Structure 1
Amino acid sequence: MTRRIAAGLALLCVALPAHGQSRADPEFLWESFLAPPPEARPMMRWWWFGPAVDEAEIDREIRAMKAGGFGGFEVQPVYPLSPDDPATGVRNRPWLSDDFLAALRHAARTAQAEGMRIDVTGGSGWPFGGPHVPVTQAAMNIRMVRVPVAAGATEFVVPALGPAEALVSARIGAKILAIDGLRAQVGASEVPREALLFVAGRTGQQVKRAAIGAEGYVLDHLDGAAVAHHLETVGERLLSAFAGIAPPYAFFSDSLESYGSSWTGDLPAQFARRRGYDLVPHLPALFLDTPESAAVRFDWARTLAELTGERYLSAIDAWTKRHGTRFRVQAYGTPPTFLSGNGRVALPEGEGANWREFTSTRWATSGAHLYGKPVVSSEAWTWLHSPSWAATPLDMKVEADRHFLQGVNQLVGHGWPYSPPGAGEPGWAFYAAAALSDRNPWYGAMPALTRYLQRASHLLRLGEPANAVAIYLPTEDVLAAMHPQAASVNDAIAHRLPHSLVTQVLDAGHGFDFVDAQAIAAPGFRHRVLVLPRLDRIDPEAYAAIERWTRKGGTLIAIDRLPNSAGGLRDEAARAAVRRLSQRMRATIVSEGDLGPALARAVPDVVLAAPDPTLGFVHRKLPEGDLYFVANTGNLPVQTRARFAGDRGTGAWWDAMTGKRWSAGTGDIAIELAPYETRFLMFGAAAPGSVARASASVRALTGAWRVQFPGRDERGLGSRRPWADDPDTRFFSGTATYRLRFDAAPAAGRCFALDFGVGVPRAEAAGGRSSRPVAAIDAPIRDAAIVRLNGQVVGTVFAPPYRLEIGKALRPGENLLEIQVSNTMLNRLAGRAPADFRLLTARYGERFQNQDQGKIAPQPSGLLGPVSLVEAEASDRPCGS
């Protein structure tokens, strides 16, 4: 690393100039791309099962993460995987015990000594909660109980209430009933009737995947006292492990999965203060469809979301700042939050890789863009190629690219399972996630993958997002349709927002952000086009801001019609304001299917020669020029041409996998990408070379190939068949070395590469998130290879185009090629009986279920395709491309 780069790394991550450097220094930018700052490295969620951890293994795994190219980890204590067992050395340390905190402190010391980032989860499992949460601070709901009242009856028995529950209201029809103890008095009637009782109760939800000692109620996220008690009891206790050393980089909260949470103790008082009327007489409207239901539900749900933002998001963010750390949070789920809630926290985070639809990832990145948060993370690789141990480096790259396409620039891998030495091979794994530790046979390829991810994350942090289009989320309509049983804004939007809106925006050549009513006024709302889905309601203040924006030149496109309503039960003035605004609003009204053509007239950012839904891009404005991340998300090659908006001059391709750059030309840029290949396109930074394709000759290496498996003699390779097809290697998981001696005559002015063949595309498997492989391609190398030529490492191969330049390693005469090929752990696991958790469950109860164990089977492994030597005229492009 040069002294110039070292001086500027910390500043580059926020796009500021390095000492002595111009803000627009393309060569400095290029050098930082080759050796990006450590802050951009991916992280890992580190599961501590039990927790049964010891200091020696903690140190070993931290150093293994660092060796793999990870920049840090988030400690998340979760369920045990073994009872205490002296025979294997397993000893569970109860959560928050002195023993546990000593282990956490040791991990922090080692991480900081190794230059690694450490985050702590603000609980165990998820959501926040545990034994410190009394029933009076547990998550609350409001429920309606129907009680039949027989004809002629003058009283009925009130159903029994649970601990910390209260009867809020009782009624028959419009008549409010007085409750006296266990019986309710009613007037006699000749016909049967039904009493409706509204009970403010407790959901009873327990912390999911809790560690030993962390069992207990989920806290009430809407109760400021409950949140403060959690921070005092748990947060302060966790941070005490960092006394005298640097605090954790961040304090983490997973998504708010407090199912059924829909009430809090002072909700009626808060509702009256904020909405101007008493909610209690209107409770039937939350459960029954009445003329006032939509308006009352809107007021109730809006109040919940405001309380979540104030009492949970803002409260914890302020607490972390006081303690010298930051709040990293997945700010969505139940109870409800607004997209603009991302502006309340230091580090928004999302999850979900489906870049062509609504996701929580885009929810988080949009909030980050709108509120000026330069770093936004995502929980990556959750459910990746289930079951555990099935994921490959290519799977990881493919999903990571889909997060990058949504604006993510910090990956938090899901994840790294701590495993004690006595657990055997491959060790422990989380029940529903990729196991991405160094117990994977292919972990030797991880540094090449993380170097790619680090380069991409670094560039995607620079400058500012340049999305021209915003999509207004139908939050107001979602609030008006919300029910106490499912009080989540983002979940409802995912079902309500038409899938075609996102796809049409992308296919029209635009990048976009989602926006909600509060975020219209955010400093990052600088979009040129705003799309309104089919809305009934809209916030009148936001709508007025939109009108002012249109008068300054903004383009408003509405689907089918403009909204005509607003607000809640007492908001007639708001409804009238919306109707007036709609009458004079400058807007283009189109049908849902015609959105794409309308957007195509709004100066698209990227215009392809032919539509291709597998090709995605992200655009950022840098002081040095315009930067595009271009990704082929499909399993077939892409060959097309694209015109990028504006007069940007000559472009340069920057390849984050190889660290090479070459000229892309001007005007219509040729795009040629292998399956799942990505590149950056930089305008404003010159690159050497030309856009001319270098002619290449290809020679198959067909000599006497040999192969050697660990502990076995080297043998001749009669044919390249998968290891799983050979009874001797069917259940082998690990690394085998292929060797070949071949002659070459390298000449000056020529470049040489090894080509391992092409992958064969396959149909993606049907099924849910836990069953679909990410990379739908049968690779010629299964699943990664480290290649040496004449004893020199020339590179790692795990992704298309399966080609390595071999440069100066090739010599005249005889050459020794060694290819170390590694597969996944599935083959080994297929040869043994599944784990028996009977005694564990008997001791601690069933805290998890291993997913997709029936899918464990030997996988095709090894060097499966021909290897060729490619010779071409030397150029600045990848050899023979």
Structure 2
Amino acid sequence: MFKKTLLACYVTALTLHLSAQTKWPAFTQQSKPWTRWWWMGSAVDEKNISTSLQQYSQAGFGGVEIVPIYGAKGFEHRYIKYLSPQWMKMLDYTVQQSNARNMGVYISVGTGWPIGGSHVTVQDAASKLLVQQYDLKAGAALAQPLVINDPKQKEAASLSALMGFNSNGEAIDLTGKVDAGGNLQYNAASDLKLYAVFTGKTKQAVKRAAPGGEGFTIDHFSKAATVNYFTIFDTAFGNSSHGVKAFFNDSYEVYNADWTPDFFTEFQKRRGYDLRKYINLFLSDSNDATARLKSDYRETLADLMRENFSTVFTQWTNKRKTLSVNQAHGSPGNLLDLYAAFDIPETETFGSSYFPIRGLRRDSADIRDVDPDPNMLKFASSAAHAYGKPLTSCETFTWLTEHFKTSWSQCKPEVDQVFLSGINHVFYHGTTYSPADAKWPGWLFYASVNFVPNNSLWPHLKGLNDYITRCQSVLQSGEPDNEILIYWPVYDAWHNAKGMDMPLKVHDVDHWLHPTRFYKNVVALQNAGYSLDFASDKMLEQAHAQNGGLRVAAKGAQHQLLLVPACDKMPVATLRNILRLANEGTTVIFEQFPHDVPGFNDPEKGRQELKALIAGIQLSAGNNQLQTAVAGKGKIVAGDVNAALKYLGIAPESIAAGGLKFIRRKKPDGTYYFIVNNTANDVDETVVLRNTASTLLRMDPLNGQINSLPHHQQNNATAVRLQLRSGESVILKLSNIKETAIPYRYMQTAGEPINLHDNGWVLQFTEGGPQRPATKKMTTIQPWTAFTDDSTTQSYSGSGVYTTTFTLKNKAADYILQLEKLYESSRVIINGKDAGLIWSLPFELNVGAYLKEGKNTISIEVRNLMANRIRDLDRKGEVWRNYHEINFVNINYKNFDAAKWKVQPSGLEGAVKLIPLK
């Protein structure tokens, strides 16, 4: 006994010593997950703010992002007007209380979304193009005045231009011939088709606005509108940020805003010709000339949005020594450039992805009919990587499942996919402020996973939060390590005669992204094991060669090569920049050379310049797949992408061949690999990683353990045995310095498992409602919802503790507790000691350290979904959702009603095993 005790003390001391040598990167505010914090009606008070922040801090959140929205009915007397002195007092108190808990605060620049408010004038409101056509007969006066016909636009619309076109299509500018009353003072020599171009207003109001935040959406293309918008913040905030770490702007979602009052002037300045002279062609939708005009128009909108909204926004925040955060997706512009104009580019997930993970619950009735594309997320992370922005954020879990049916195990693969896309600053969508006196389930937002203290799963949320914190501590370290920079040919998307502004929406990727060679290359390269970022024309203009590769910005990530996918349209300036990079020393792969130039202004001249540049590349005869050329200090390879990469000796990561996904971060002392197995198969094999290592560490983000792994060098790469179950993830650190850690013990069974399924269990209900069921005794383990003769089990949401006692003989080196079916998460207590949480797949936990020879007691505290209790409320007809504006809707934006839901299984089911390990 004395020897065992002495040995235990030695192992403990050794563990402490080694853990001091090898640690996770520092856990900070930013490495922890944050949450969108809706202030309903801004009906907040100091006591509830303090209590809420304490709960969030204890659960492992690093900060909150305040977005005021519409309020709950019956609480109008508590509403606080947005940006009023009282509202600012509550904000200051929130910042103070957050700082005391080492948390941070972001706020939305407005209430609800999109950006706008009560002080936005009609002049500064979002604008739209309105055109009326007239026939003017030769020698006759126009019978009616040129005023807008739409009665809704009478007070808002103004005439921007009047153009006449004769039978030959020649344009005559008649704008100056219209008097103050709208009468045309002109006699035509020949019949004319008149186009009266008006600047109208969309009159779109802020959606989900809070008190004091109602009003028009702003004109994103007008610098004056953006500057004027921030005047109310200047008044409220002065020159200070009031401790707010960043100001946030939600996704664009501005509809039919396709114009701005001085568009014609801005267009001519940027594109070099007068669009008014071609307004007849512009308004067509069926020919190449129209597509070229529309391309120029869309490029101009992109310029205006970046210069007049994005840049002005960031300058305003930086003036207050704080940061700007923006969701650029959905905007009518080059997403890469719009994301890049902000300090923290933010993207979003929407809906549920399919993962073939064994045991992962995914009911088609509880998910939206939308298939999220992780490559949509890479537009934000690529912009951050290119310009050396340390953080890329993501609004995460939006409409992941139907309300009250989301488990933390469903969140993990979704957030893993976010990490794999280059995101490293996760925001939950989200958490609703709710006062203590609001009846259960409290105040809730209509479109979120409810990460709220009233959620029956809340006590186990720290498992997910700690997991994300460990992952993000690594993913915020060092630099991204992606070898390929791939050009995104936005002009191919813009060259479309149909439509107007073409906002590049998350939900429209089937139209503007998926059909392209760019996208097909991205997916194929990722599946092959390559890592990549996207580049815009502007990025290539700013890029410089370095070490055979290139960097967009001095602090940005370095890439080994530039890939130009097959595309039809490319500006001459972009091709010149690509060839400049090659001459400076960059390796460039052309899948195909571009065929044409975009735009309407003398395209033939541009075509000849493009052809001359291509002809100047001295390509070798090559073979059927490749041609090569030396270009100054660099190299150009043309042809099949895979063959080109092989020719250049750029090898993929072979772990992708088995379906594993990964992302790398590099530091001076080594390289981190974040590896995810979201396949249906377990992995136990030797893998080869494309980096060398003096020490290879296995870092488990689920439990925080760090162990060394045996490995060997193999042709400037590292071979290591990898065990990874379906649904698991791991971080491998390939360190180029000697680091010490306890050696990892690969899982190897040592005999038959101990099946506790029929061991006899007691089930006690400890915390929840609406009523706690009576204690149950079972010979065989089963869900508590299987006790249909007890109606309280059908409506109960909370915790149920399954307890059994068993005798262990000849204790093995370690044990895994394995739960076949868990609804939904659990905390395991063995012999009175907390052995940890089981919240993600596979539902397993190493528990050998807590077991002993002889009698053992194991308790499994299971927490279920909120769904059954919500179902009970609706079956009883109780009013619990009672809000202004949209109130509360289901996943299909219909009125929410859980009364007809089936009872969701709750508790444990199937085998409960202890698997002995060698």
Query: TM-score w.r.t. structure 1 length?
Result: 0.85
Residue in structure 1 matched with residue 112 of structure 2 by the alignment: 125
Number of the residue aligned with 1:333: 330
- Alignment counterpart, residue 792 of structure 1, candidates 793, 817, 833: 833
Within the alignment, does 1:738 sit opposite 2:779 as a pair?
no
Matches within 5 A, 1:706-855: 706-710=762-766, 711-727=772-788, 728=790, 729-745=793-809, 747=811, 750-757=813-820, 780-833=821-874, 846=886, 849-852=889-892, 853=896
- After superposing the two structures, state which structure 1 stretch, 300-309 or 146-155, moved more: 146-155
Where do 1:126-275 residues align within 5 Å?
Answer: 126-147=113-134, 155-157=142-144, 158=146, 159-160=148-149, 161-173=153-165, 174=169, 175-176=171-172, 177=174, 178-180=177-179, 181-182=181-182, 184=184, 195-233=194-232, 235-237=233-235, 239=237, 247-275=243-271
Q: Hey, what's the Cα distance between the residues in 2 that align with 1:252 and 1:378?
A: 12
5 Å-filtered alignment, 1:513-552, equals 513-520=533-540, 521=543, 522-523=552-553, 524=556, 526-551=558-583
Change (3 A) 1:405 1:291: closer
Question: Which deviations, in whole Å up to 9, do the C-alpha atoms of 1:54-109 show, x marking residues without a partner?
Answer: 22221111111101100000000012232436xxxx72223223333332222222
Q: Decide which of 285, 288, 311 is 2:308's aligned counterpart.
A: 311
Structure 1 residue 225: Cα displacement: 1.5
| 8 Å CA contact retained: 1:239, 1:247 | no
- Structure 1 counterpart SS, 2:390: coil
- Which residue, out of 726, 731, 755, partners 1:700? 755
| Residue 286, structure 1, aligned to residue 282, structure 2 | yes
| Paired letter, 1:738 | Y
Per-residue CA distance 1:387-430 (angstroms, 9 max, x = gap): 22221111221111111001111101110011233332222221
**Quick one: distance in 2 between partners of 1:366 and 1:627?**
19
Q: Which residue of 2 aligns with 1:645?
A: 690
1:376 equivalenced with 2:376 (yes/no): no
Deviates more, 1:223-232 or 1:283-292: 283-292
How far does residue 593 in structure 1 lie from its aligned partner after superposition? 12
Distance 1:600 1:82, change over 3 A: farther
Residue 401 of structure 1 pairs with residue 420 of structure 2: no
CA distance in 1, matches of 2:20, 2:492: 49
Q: Counterpart of 1:12? A: none
CA contact (8 A) 2:747 2:917 kept: no
**Partner residue of 2:461?**
446
Matched, 1:104 2:91: yes
The code of the aligned residue for 2:723 comes to E
2:654 to 590, 608, 611: 608
Distance in 2 between residues matched to 1:552 and 1:642, nearest whole Å: 36
Cα separation, partners in 2 of 1:493 and 1:449, compared to 1, 3 Å: same
* Kept after mapping to 1: 8 A contact 2:759/2:780: no
CA distance in 2: counterparts of 1:324 and 1:560, whole angstroms: 46
Please say which of residues 567-576 and 711-720 is displaced more in the overlay.
Answer: 567-576
Q: Measure, in 2, the Cα distance between the counterparts of 1:610 and 1:46.
A: 38
- With over 3 angstroms needed to count, the CA separation of the structure-2 counterparts of 1:137 and 1:256, relative to structure 1, is same
Number of equivalences: 812
Does the aligned pair in 2 maintain the 1:566–1:578 contact within 8 Å? no
1:36 alignment partner, one of 17, 27, 38: 27
Deviations 1:426-458 (A, max 9, x none): 222211111111211111111121111011101
Q: 1:219 to 1:166 in 2, by over 3 A?
A: same
Amino acid at match of 2:822: I
- Aligned mate of 1:683, from 695, 710, 734: 734
- Partner residue, 2:700: 655
Q: 1:785 to 1:391 in 2, by over 3 A?
A: same
1:847 is displaced (CA, Å) by 6.7
| More deviation, 176-185/37-46 | 176-185
Report the residue type matching 1:120 in the other structure.
I
CA contact (8 A) 2:529 2:656 kept: no
In structure 2, the CA distance between the partners of 1:317 and 1:845, relative to structure 1 (3 Å rule), is: closer
Report the equivalent of 2:81. Answer: 94
Matches of 2:796 and 2:646 in 1, distance apart? Answer: 53
Q: 1:801 to 1:267 in 2, by over 3 A?
A: same
Q: SS where residue 529 of structure 2 aligns?
A: coil
User: Could you tell me the TM-score, scaled by structure 2's length?
Assistant: 0.81
- Say if 2:56 is the partner of 1:65: yes
> How has the CA–CA distance of structure 1 residues 555 and 324 changed in structure 2, closer, same or farther, with 3 Å as cutoff?
closer
Structure 1, 173-182 or 713-722: larger mean CA deviation: 173-182
In structure 2, what is the Cα distance between the partners aligned to 1:573 and 1:148? 36
Residues 637-663 of structure 1, C-alpha deviations (whole Å, 9 max, x = no match):
345553222444553321111222241
* Deviation at residue 753 of structure 1 after TM alignment: 3.0
Report SS of the residue matched to 1:163. coil
In the alignment, the residues of structure 2 paired with residue 393 and residue 838 of structure 1 have an alpha-carbon distance, to the nearest angstrom, of: 24
Deviations 1:130-159 (A, max 9, x none): 110011100112233345789998535344
Relative to 1, partners in 2 of residues 1:839 and 1:806: Cα closer, same or farther, differing over 3 Å? closer
CA RMSD of superposed structures (Å): 3.4
Shift of 1:217: 0.5
- Take 1:446 and 1:115, find their aligned partners in 2: how far apart are those partners? 19
Unaligned runs of 5+ in 1: 1-25, 758-779, 874-881
Quote the offset at 1:869 in angstroms: 1.8
Instruction: Give the letter aligned to residue 505 of structure 1.
Output: L
CA distance 1:527–1:833, shift in 2 (3 Å): same
Once the two structures are TM-superposed, the CA of residue 788 in structure 1 deviates from its matched residue by: 0.7
- 1:253 to 1:585, Cα distance in 2 relative to 1, 3 A: farther
Q: Structure 2 CA distance, aligned partners of 1:696 and 1:838?
A: 53
Structure-2 residue corresponding to 1:23: none
- 1:690 Cα deviation from its structure 2 partner: 6.2
Which stretch shows the higher mean deviation, 783-792 or 517-526? 517-526
Which moves more between the two structures, 586-595 or 118-127? 586-595
Equivalent position to 1:458, from 458, 466, 473 = 473
Question: Does the 8 Å contact 1:609/1:641 carry over to 2?
Answer: no
Structure 1 CA distance for aligned equivalents of residues 568 and 268 of structure 2 = 25
Deviations for 1:235-277, whole angstroms, at most 9, x for unmatched residues? 235536x97x952011111122222222222222222222332
Q: Distance in 2 between matches of 1:586 and 1:810?
A: 72
Deviations 1:23-64 (A, max 9, x none): xxx98783134x623431010000111222222221111111
Instruction: Report 1:525-674 matches (<5 A).
Output: 526-551=558-583, 554-570=586-602, 574-585=606-617, 595-596=641-642, 598-599=644-645, 603=649, 606-608=652-654, 611-613=657-659, 615-639=660-684, 641-648=686-693, 651-660=696-705, 661-663=707-709, 665-666=711-712, 667-674=718-725
Which residue type is aligned with residue 167 of structure 1?
A: L
8 Å Cα contact 2:570-2:594 kept in structure 1 = no
> How much has 1:278 moved relative to structure 2?
2.2
Quick one: distance in 1 between partners of 2:666 and 2:708?
Answer: 20
Deviation at 1:356, TM superposition (A): 9.1
Task: Tell me the distance in 2 between the aligned counterparts of 1:189 and 1:133.
Answer: 45
Q: Give SS of 2:44's match.
A: coil
Q: Does 1:351 align with 2:391?
A: no
Secondary structure class of the residue paired with 1:721: coil
More displaced stretch, 630-639 vs 651-660: 630-639
1:867 aligns to what SS in structure 2?
strand
Counterpart in the other structure of 2:292: 295
